[in-house]
Amino acid sequence: MLGTGLLKGLAITFVHFVDTYVQDLKKFPRRYRKEPVEGQSQALRGFFTVQYPEEQLRMFPRFHGHLVQARDAETGDYKCTACKSCERACPHGVIKVEGERNPDRESKKKMLVTHFTWDAGRCLFCGLCVEACNFDALRWSQGFDLAGCEREALVYDFERMLEKSDA
Ligand code: SF4
Ligand code: SF4
């Protein structure tokens, strides 16, 4: 029947609208959420205020935030091998990687990263670079505060990507 889909959509919206008030009453009188909450959970239903930026909700695990460089859990050293797979996979050319042979012949790490930049301002957040990394070095963080006043501030170098990973 003509308009059934529209009515169904309105009904769903109405149920969510009522549920918001029901959840709010259940949590009364709490108005502010102090503790971090895993995103998309039941706890996020109802009215509450997050005092951003002092308080922040955690984003859901698959959120594409900053690209970060991971460290080896045992050695604490960065995992990147400067193989350039991420650079080649990027359709927008926003990752630049340079490396050099490690002079320490005894070290397991054969290549050292001499230059790594990621331009978040031009990134599509498609994740092809993360998929292309065979060393689990490149990951998405759950950080969403990417905004900056200047374009240059959106270009992340290797140290900054490691710092974001440690944060
Ligand atoms: S997410 Fe996509 S556009 Fe952004 S750096 Fe990775 S491959 Fe390039
Ligand atoms: S981040 Fe991964 S794919 Fe990119 S250069 Fe490092 S090891 Fe290679």
Examine the pLDDT at 60 and tell me if it is beyond 90.
Answer: no
Two tokens, residue 78: 């960065």
* Dihedral sign for Cα atoms in the order 112, 115, 118, 122: negative
Strand partners, 118: 95, 156
Would you tell me how many other CB atoms lie within 10 Å of the CB of residue 129?
21
Give the Å distances, CA to CA, from 49 to 13, 22, 27, 55, 143: 21, 16, 12, 10, 19
> Are the C-beta atoms of residues 81 and 137 closer than 8 Å to each other?
yes
Is-contact 127 161, C-beta < 8 A? no
Mutate to test the pocket of ligand 1, among 84, 116, 125, 146 (most ligand atoms within 8 A of CB): 125
120 within ligand 1 shell (Cβ under 6 A): no
Task: Please tell me the distance from the alpha carbon of residue 104 to that of residue 110, in angstroms, as a whole number.
Answer: 8
Q: Which domains does the chain have, with CATH numbers?
A: 4-44 (no CATH), 67-166 (3.30.70.3270)
Question: How far, in Å, is the centroid of ligand 2 from the Cα of 85?
Answer: 6
Quote the percentage of the chain above a pLDDT of 70: 86
Q: Nearest ligand to the C-alpha of residue 119?
A: 1
Q: Ligand 1 center to residue 85 CA distance, Å? A: 12
CB-based contact 119:155 (threshold 8 Å):
yes
**pLDDT tens digit string along 100-129?**
999 988 888 889 999 999 999 999 999 999
The predicted-structure confidence for 21-59, as pLDDT tens digits, reads as follows 887 777 666 656 555 555 545 556 666 677 788 877 778
